[in-house]
Amino acid sequence: MSQEIASALRWAQGQFDSISDSARLDAELLLAHCLQKPRSYLYSWPEQELPTSVHSEFEILVAQRLKPTPLAYLLVSREFYSLEFKISPVALIPRPETELLVDTTLQLCAGLQRPRILEMGTGTGIISIVLLKEKPDIDLVTTDISKACLELATTNARIHQVSLHCLQSDWYQALTALPGFDLIVSNPPYIAANDPYLSQGDLPAEPLLALTPGKTGLESIEKIVAGAPQHLNPGGYLIFEHGYDQAEAVEALLTTTGFTNIQNLLDDNQLPRVSLGQLPY
Ligand SMILES: C[S@@+](CC[C@H](N)C(=O)[O-])C[C@H]1O[C@@H](n2cnc3c(N)ncnc32)[C@H](O)[C@@H]1O
């Protein structure tokens, strides 16, 4: 059955009201995606009849959204640092707060000549790709334990015309033969396994490997901090994202591992989100 743009949107918005705080926006983004047009097209042509094939695809996506499947997985794309990245259920959906990690990393390497950077747990590849776009002279190695994530990151790198040196590795395990790094950056999994947040909203659809490292939520961070001194050059920095309630534990870990100049940075919601430390010279 064919339908006009405006009434299809009203119908989908009504479906999404109970599962989304942005029901109208979700409906518009999905329909624009099916039509392969910008959202503004929906407002310019509200009375246009949808072709049957488009209408069928829209109905399928609305049904998937109601499961609920995250919007980003249905749109197969998400913006990060003003760039569009290909998304798939093998990887975490990029979060806006991770831009703080990228901004701080760029500040740390601003004065360095061809710094060697290691990114661990790359997922979609957003952090490494933005770093390479913003500072093309860096010498960067990017890792993930998931082969599927590395394939997705490589696809995103191709889309953004940068070349990624990818390695499949369980944190530092496959990196023993590599020379030291000036900077190690990571957005590791950090949600405790029993955190009720894991069963809310879109999170059940995202890979558990990307969200939780175990019982306390600190297991990955502990490994990353403990292994950093063997892989950083003297004076090198370790910088990583963590949960808003993990700043104290993270500071203690960095201190006992011998890091200096430890800093904790607040995200846009004024929550402690990124910590960094420097290895002494
Ligand atoms: C929170 S996601 C971050 C993804 C991406 N960097 C981002 O910021 O959107 C954590 C990533 O760490 C990876 N990961 C989990 N355990 C790992 C391990 N033992 N070694 C390496 N990577 C791991 C996951 O596959 C996932 O891609």
Instruction: Show me where the domains of the chain are located.
Output: 5-68, 90-278
Annotation: CATH topology of 5-68? Helicase, Ruva Protein; domain 3 (1.10.8)
Distance CA 101, CA 184 (A): 11
Nearest to 132 by CA among 144, 124, 141: 141
Q: Is 247 in the pocket of ligand 1 (CB under 6 A)?
A: no
Region 90-278: CATH code: 3.40.50.150
CA-CA-CA-CA dihedral for 21, 24, 30, 36, to nearest 10: -140
**What six digits make up the tokens of 20?**
């989304």
Q: Is 123 in the pocket of ligand 1 (CB under 6 A)?
A: yes
List per-residue pLDDT tens for the chain, 281 residues long. 569 999 999 999 999 998 888 999 999 999 999 999 999 999 999 999 999 999 999 999 999 999 989 999 999 999 999 999 999 999 999 999 999 999 999 999 998 999 999 999 999 999 999 999 999 999 999 999 999 999 999 999 999 999 999 999 999 999 988 899 999 999 999 999 999 999 988 899 999 999 999 999 999 999 999 999 999 999 999 999 999 999 999 999 999 999 999 999 999 999 999 999 999 99
Nearest CA to ligand 1 atom 24: 210
Please say whether the beta carbons of 253 and 230 come within 8 A. no
Q: Is 73 in the pocket of ligand 1 (CB under 6 A)?
A: no
CB atoms within 10 A of CB 178: 14
Q: Which of 144, 154, 225, 231 to mutate to test the pocket of ligand 1 (most atoms within 8 A of CB)?
A: 144
Reported in sequence order, the residue ranges of the chain that DSSP labels E, i.e. its strands, are: 77-80, 83-86, 116-120, 139-144, 165-168, 181-186, 232-241, 260-266, 272-278
